Structure 1
Amino acid sequence: MLLLNHSSFILVGIPGLESQHSWLSVPFSSMFLAILLGNGAILFLVATQPTLHTPMYLLLALLMTADIISTLAFVPKTLCIFWLKDRDIAANVCFTQMFFIHGTSVFRSALLVAMAFDRFVAVCEPLRYSTILSHSLVGRLGLMALAKGVILILPMPLLLQRLTFCQRVIPHTYCDHMAVVKMACSHTRPNRIYGLFVVLLVVGLDLLLIGFSYALILQAVVRLNSRDATFKALNTCSAHLFVILVTYVPALFSSIAHRIGRHIPPHAHILLANLYLLLPSMLNPIIYGIKMKEMRKRVAKCLCRRTS
């Protein structure tokens, strides 16, 4: 049966665990609320506290915005599948969801590169920090990250529209690019090649730039004579390093599983793909809230005002 471009797909949810969807909705909805509350709280603090209008916190606010958009793009539909058995999704809605999910992932990765540059300047050029990282430069970095997400991901749904689909049922909780490509019965090599190109460009190049920044940071730290200065410099980068780990490790596993993980159970693969989207968004506010002294001070000040 052929599926025309104006028709719809069916999202299965988590294949093999359909009977457990009502139970799985509990951690999904809990993480959803935690992401909205945690990221929203940090966005509110950065927006309302003038002392937090620094490059580091402005980039952090952009990262939190990307996390919220990514979560809103797929979790509500996933919960509709779990709770209401509402599995239908229009093709244009599916492609739009795909654009926002993958686009925010590219945007987030580009922001992590910008934040690595921010940490490099903070450690290696502390006296020139405010001069180098002006608000206008942060704005340009944010626009470049956004443009990268749009330019790289927009061709994906456009290339999909030329395909003929002979399957409607997508064994996933959201419209992942490779999951939708596998539904096609026409020639998909351009789609697969472009998808792999985006992964290699985003993950490979961004990790290379981040690694280069931290190599320079490590070189500067080694030259420090004071143990306290060394500890302070490393502590400056710790939150960013934690975020890099929770962002790229699940992303790499998910991408590899899509292409070579034929023996991985479908439910394990889908859970990993959801974890790749949800885990960084949930942990980022916790990591930055714990590691950043200024953020903790502002939270405590706000709490004191409410209790007094």
Structure 2
Amino acid sequence: MLSGKTRRELPLYLMLLPGLILIVLYQYVPMAGIAIAFQKFTPFKGWFGSEWVGLDNLRFALALPDAEQVIWNTVYISAMKIAAGLVVPLAISLLLNEVTRTVVKRGVQTLIYLPHFLSWVILGGILIDILSPSEGIVNQALQAIGFKPVFFLGDNRWFPYVLVLSDVWKEFGFNTIIYLAALTSINPVLYEAAVIDGASRWKQTLHVTLPGMLPIIVLLATLSLGNVLNAGFDQVFNLYSPVVYDSGDILDTMIYRVGLVDAQYGLATAFGLMKSAVSFVLISASYWLAYRYAHYRIF
């Protein structure tokens, strides 16, 4: 017999059941494919008929001539994205907090939040048009003031920074909302006390606002460590070309080409397994840091 509490909560568990089934089917069952990383996998032979090669795929993956460059590109681009994704929304949220007219504040929030809902397929097409060296509005403006046109999406010197800036443009509106929510939790009495003490707006921001936002800043910074190897496949895939492989090719795009284009399934799975293992360590470390310095915990 079920207890009274269990009977009351049973509908809630039943509501969770479809989601749990989907998680098991699409997140846990496919994990059996990890075995491909240790095989010379052939689709016609399947898991049981393919030859086992141990760690040969992983050794070969790390020995590839461009593997080191790809790993560096991934870490470099994702680190810049993480840093910019923390600083820019924080600065914008502080500026919006100073806006007193609600209509203006809400309007700006809506405008900067809109790109978050657009896919990189759409934004990629927009950026290709805007940054075109011949007809793009950016290069037309540069030529109007006497500069030569720049091939932003075809120059290894510029491409990583285009990725970072465009990612910030797309996502900083969403992150700004998180910081604005943190601002609402700061006790107004602290500002009143600061005004009585003669603190200017800058001093109030420095000694009241930022310390009040510090827990959420630390939390977002530590949790973002788990994304060091996620430089954004959708974005890079829609913007890069073989011309900028030296500076823009990342682990996810390399796995895509090796696995789906070249049909080297074992090698691609070895790359993916290596990335997942490192990400697992980083995510575990980030949650420990979040608990240690921001008192955030999941369980």
Larger radius of gyration: 2
* Common fold: TM-score over 0.5: no
- TM-score normalized with structure 1 length: 0.29
